[in-house]
Each structure stands twice: as C-alpha cells, then as structure tokens.
Structure 1
C-alpha cells in the first residue's frame, strides 16, 4: 500500500477514504487499543475528529495521533492578528461592482515576502463560514517559506491547486509535495507549515466550509473511470522534535488569531484513522464523454464533490477539463451557451481552454454567477461550427471549475485588481445574427 514518490523521495499510502495506520518509530502505534493508558516512547494519545461523534459510520471521520506533546501544549493565549487580503463569507458589502461575467488575467507574483498564509488573497466568497455552508476562492501568491510559523483553518478544509512552482506542506500527518497539475487537500483543523521547493509559487485555493470533499457517485458510468481511489496519496508519519519559539495561527469564524508556542506542533510520531491530508495528480483522471453524438453535462468531469443536505445538489463540485479526445459527430463540441443555477469560478492551470482560446490564459480566472449567460467566445464558436467532424485531441491543457449552488460575491480586492479583463464581454461581440427564415442550411 505504501508507494514511493520518485521525484522527491517522499512516501505515501494510496487510496481515498481508507483507514490508514503509519508510524515513524517501531511500535509507536499501539496495537488493539486506540488510546492506551501509557503509550510507547512516552507519547500522548490525542484524537482529531472531522465529523460529529455520532455521524454515521460511512461519514464518520477521525484519526488518533500519538505525539510528543498534546495539542494543549501547542496553544497558549490567543490574540487577534491581521487578515491581510483573506476574507470569509458572508462578505456582502465589499464590492461596488454590479453583477456580470468577470475575467482576470494572471496576478503577478509580488516582490514582497509573502508566505502561504499571508499570501492568501480572496477573490470570491459564498454562503456562511459559521453556518458551515459554501466556500471561498483564493489565490495564493507565495514568495517565501513559513519559518517557525504554523497554521490551521477551523472554518473549513483547504484544497490547493498548484499552478506555478512547487509547494511542500509539512503537516501533522506527514509531508505532501505538489506541482502544477496536482492538488492537495488539508482537512479542517490540521496544522501545517508550507515551504517553497524551487522558487516562488502561485496556486488556486478553495476553502470549503461545508461537507468534506469526497468522490462523486458514478451512477450509470459504473465502477471505473473519473478519479480512481487508488490514485489518491496520503503521507506516512514524519515528525519534528523541535524546541524553540514559534507561532501558531488559526482562522476561526472568519477572523485570524495567533498564539506563541515553544515547540513544533508537527510532533506526531504515529497515527491511524480516516481523517488526514491527501494529494491527487489531476493527470490521472480518466475522462468519459460522448462517443457518437450529443454533449454531456460538465458534471462528468467531477473529481471531488462536497455534498449538501439536498440530494443531487452539491455544496461544491470540483470539476476539471483535462486533455481528451473529441469524437462526437454532428455536435458542437466546445461547452455550449448556457445559464444555470450554479455559480462557476474557473481557473486555467496550463495550456489552452477550447471555449476561450485567446483571452483565458494560464494563471487567469473567470466567474460566471448563477443565471448569468456564458459560453464560447466568437472565434471559438466560428471555428467549432465549421471544422470537419473528425477526431481531435485536446492536448496539453488543464482547466478547473469550482461550481457551487450559492452565489459567489466578489471581494473588494478582486473588484479593484488591475488584472481585471475589462474587455471580457467583448469576446461575444462578434457573434453575428445569422437567422434567415428562407434558408434552412445555416451560413456561419
């Protein structure tokens, strides 16, 4: 079950939703008992729960941690700290912009020193963080590693989508490293430190206030394709036995707090359970699609979903548009023009997005809120309407979408960025009127 990561020498366990056990020292993990009276090596037993104690077995999440010092020794008296550009829902009054389709060019990495926490810049918020519903979409602009600083988010889990540069997350459960095309999910409450691997990095971040991300049901697709559980990786135990002054930050109910500590909180020598951080390579996603005609809904590209209380309606769907073959006959192949109840935040990790080949560039973003129409730009429509119906491979591309049933509100930061594409609406200006009641065959 343990897989070696050739690129960095890191080791992972594989599988999504499994209950794992791992130890960094022999016999640090007790056998047959969750919380023994006396742990080997003088460790303390501590449980981290990601669900209510009485949640059904299928959704009950918890892990036992065997650590050098208990969590109460890693937290002192908290004081308020600045939020920087980080915001939480509800965030109703910040943006003065009217509703509309939005697009941003890539936000440049700044010259100032920003670590993962201070480099989080909120673009949109939806729902209510205290009500544990909805999400926020952030951009992480990271120019320096966290040094003697640790962070955890009590408001929700964090999904980090690497876009430029590599990031290393040193967590209570072990070490995870991601590169562009990979994601990392850090559950609510898990403490971590983020380090740069080979220079400044930029990443998209989804903060999920609601139900934990899980694999979607496949329905008629059956047992295979989409994201397969075996391709998700969870770190093996790796601990820090480090004494010295440090700071622990926590985001709690939309506010930031900090406490001074005297040692590293990443001191878990062994752990077992089903609540842990994990990573996934989006290039392992196995897409399905139309193989004769018609255009399936984008939901067939769902990697992970955060369920809501309403069947079939997600709190968040994390959807990707990877490289794939387009083979449908007599079909307009790019995404069609549409309006829907969901709100769509998109980002392009690398390559070209087929519906917006010119203005939507890697590192950029777009927002199409609920019931606002959107679809291919004029050049994409013209090309797709006239090209021959032969198999075409969309190669070297990776876009993603955070789709939520809730409206996404802009922050003041997002609404005043110089990176706003003020000419975005013009991408549809070239869609001409072709209607002719005397001619059945269209003349594109």
Structure 2
C-alpha cells in the first residue's frame, strides 16, 4: 500500500495508536516505542525545503550500532567487488577526450555468482566531491540474490534507482516499495533498507546525488499541469520487522563502505509522520509537452526531478525521461538536434528504441556525452529524419532517460576498461557527408 503526493506531510502507522496525537516526542510513546527524528535538511532550512520525519521505532538508531570496520575489498573476499562502487572525487586516470557508449552489463548467473545489492554496483562516472555534498556518482547495478539479514544505508547520498530489468523490493524502515522496470525509486540519505529480488535477477541504473534533494522542477509558463504530477509519486505505508537475529549493517559514508554486526533488524519503525521518506514513480505517467507547429523546445521539458544547486537554473543533477509521445512539428528535423552543451549527459535506455540512435544503443546500455562534447543523431537517423513525410507520428514503446549535470563526468577505471565499451562508437557519425552546394539554395 502507498500514499500519493510529492513532498506531502504524511502520517502512517502499522499498529493503531502508535502515532502520538498533538505532539512529536511524548514522555512515553505507545507500545514502548522510541521517538526519533530523521532530518534531511538543516533545522533552519526554509519551510518549503525543510525535510524531516518523526519515527516511532522499537529501538532508536543508536541501538542499531556496532563496531564498524571497513568492508574488505581484498581479492578473493566475498565483498571484493565493493571496490568498484566509487565516489567522487575518483582517482582514476583521465580517459582520452571522446563521446562514449557501452553495451549492457551482463547479468551474472545466480547459480554461479550470487550478487547482492552490496556487491552488484559498478560505478561508471563521478563528478563533484562527496565531502562537500556536491555532485554525483552514476552506476549500473546487477542483482541476482536478495539481501538476507543484511541492511544498508547511504550516509553520502540520496539514491535514485532506474529499473530496467527485473522487479526489485526495497524493504525500507518507512515501509515496503515494490517496483518494476519503467519505474524509479528514490531513497533519501540515511534511510535504512534491505534490497530483494523476489522474481529473479534485476538490472538497472543508480544515481547517487550528493547535493540538494531531488524535487519537482518549476513549470514556468507551462503552468500547473503536465510533466510529472505530484499525485503520481507513491510513498509506502508503515511496516516493521521485530526480528532478533544476527545481522549486518552496511553504511556508505565518506566515500567508503563500512559494516557492523547487529543482533536484530533495524527496520523496526512502527509508525512515522513527516515529509522525508522514500518514494517511487512510474515514468509512464509522465505527461510530456512539446512543439505543436514547428521547431524544438529544449529537452528540459522532459525533466522529471531536479537536484538544485546554489546557482538558479543550474542543476546539480537533472533526471530527464523520454517517453511515448506524438511528433507533429512541420518543416522540422524532429530528432534531437546536433549540439554541444555546458551540461554533461549520462544516458540510458530502459526499453524500445531511442529516435536519435536507432542502432547500437541498447536497453541496459549507457552513453556519455560530456561537457562541450559534440553529439546528436547518427547518420542513419539524420538521413531518415531528413527525408521522412512529416505526418503526425507517435513514438511508441520507448523509454530513455538522462542524468544531466553541471559537472564534467569523470569515467571510472572500471568503465574505461570495460569490454562493453564500444570502441567504434564515433563511427556512427562517419556517414555524415558534406552536402553543401552554393549553387543550390
């Protein structure tokens, strides 16, 4: 079950009467619970951006705490691959200046290699600095095995998951979120969770946002409707575990992964109220707008969520999707135009075909067009769009997305050395021939 609305003040309880009435921290909480506040913003943040929730839990978080040690990344250790989950600033050598594209990361065979959320992250690009709470890390995840008696929270970043293959269950301390390909899930910084794959292996994308929390973009002249509507964002109702079993809590903090032993589940919130909570959104509910006569609107019209920076209109990270839509503009080259951009673009394909790259850009794949790197439709897309009959056409069965950021994106050593890197990607533009003829207007 879910509650709808973005940024609302929610309240929910798994046991009747667990929520105190009229006060946040009574002298004695019902059912012997502890009151705890989880703050996602400074206490003095303006009301519109102030984020916090009150949690009523079996044990306070200080009791979910053991002696933390760094997670081993030594060759041969079960958590060796955690070393591939990187943070900014990354110390990988700079790669040659180029547009880059990767084929999908293969999903491991679960019978041979059990990969959990903790061991299944492969970071592709980073930017900014986790210690100054600016920037991001963009990764691919592959999961074949559910976490069992293991829990995790990210002290460095808010996490935005884009599901591409397979269903994922996010068992958070706020409740349960079940999500499928075509949906996104946002888990705020500091929220404990367990990640499960109830129906087999899963693959998708993960953006760790170190900066300001994702929020809905301003619509400006568009007005009150369209784009992502608040009512379509779903927040879980309260659910809790009361389990006394040996467990492990993993914490990502300061760009490193830590672990500690526990004697119980930390997902023990019986009731909560506030506006700082995880949520999911179905990208197929995005209501696109676009040009109705001629020419292009900027791709910012496809922004679902934005992480603002201190510079108005310049995002720490924008999350943009390209869903089904009608193409109706006349005397217009309809695919995205050729351009160079101050922002840098990390793009993925969830399903279908992306109109500017009909060949070579695959579901589960990634492309990177960094700051001031020229890019645009490949030669086949240009030829097709230049000669097409400009009747109304519906772009159907497609869903691409983009993490766009003001930071140049540094490619990790893993991504630079991946066998899935398309060494010939730039060849997709080699067929763009000189067409200039001064004698033919």
Paired residue secondary structure (1:426): helix
1:195 is aligned to: 196
Contact kept, 8 Å, 2:94 with 2:410, in 1: the verdict is no
Shift of 1:33: 0.4
Shift of 1:84: 2.7
Contact kept, 8 Å, 1:95 with 1:415, in 2: the verdict is no
If the length of structure 1 is used for normalisation, what is the TM-score? Answer: 0.96
1:32 and 2:30 are equivalent in the alignment: no
Deviations, residues 195-225 of structure 1 (Å, cap 9, x unaligned):
0021000010000000000000000000000
The correspondence of residues 276-291 of structure 1 with structure 2, limited to 5 A, is 276-291=277-292
Deviations, residues 121-150 of structure 1 (Å, cap 9, x unaligned):
100001001110011101011010001100
1:106 is aligned to: 104
1:131 and 2:121 are equivalent in the alignment: no
1:364 is aligned to: 365
In structure 2, distance between residues paired with 1:347 and 1:121: 15
In structure 2, distance between residues paired with 1:367 and 1:110: 24
Shift of 1:114: 1.0
In structure 1, distance between residues paired with 2:398 and 2:198: 24
Contact kept, 8 Å, 2:290 with 2:301, in 1: the verdict is yes
Shift of 1:96: 5.0
Contact kept, 8 Å, 2:158 with 2:188, in 1: the verdict is yes
1:16 is aligned to: 6
Structure 1: gaps of 5 or more residues: 1-10
Contact kept, 8 Å, 2:18 with 2:270, in 1: the verdict is yes
Superposition misfits of 4+ residues, deviation over 2 angstroms = none
Deviations, residues 299-325 of structure 1 (Å, cap 9, x unaligned):
000000000000110101000110100
The correspondence of residues 57-76 of structure 1 with structure 2, limited to 5 A, is 57-76=47-66
The correspondence of residues 1-400 of structure 1 with structure 2, limited to 5 A, is 11-82=1-72, 83-91=82-90, 93-95=91-93, 97-111=95-109, 112-400=113-401
What is the CA RMSD across the aligned residues, in angstroms? 0.7
Deviations, residues 8-47 of structure 1 (Å, cap 9, x unaligned):
xxx0000001000000000000000001110000000000
In structure 2, distance between residues paired with 1:96 and 1:409: 7
In structure 2, distance between residues paired with 1:316 and 1:99: 22
Shift of 1:95: 3.7
If the length of structure 2 is used for normalisation, what is the TM-score? Answer: 0.97
In structure 1, distance between residues paired with 2:357 and 2:277: 37
Shift of 1:423: 1.1
In structure 2, distance between residues paired with 1:77 and 1:201: 32
Paired residue secondary structure (1:286): coil
Paired residue secondary structure (2:132): coil
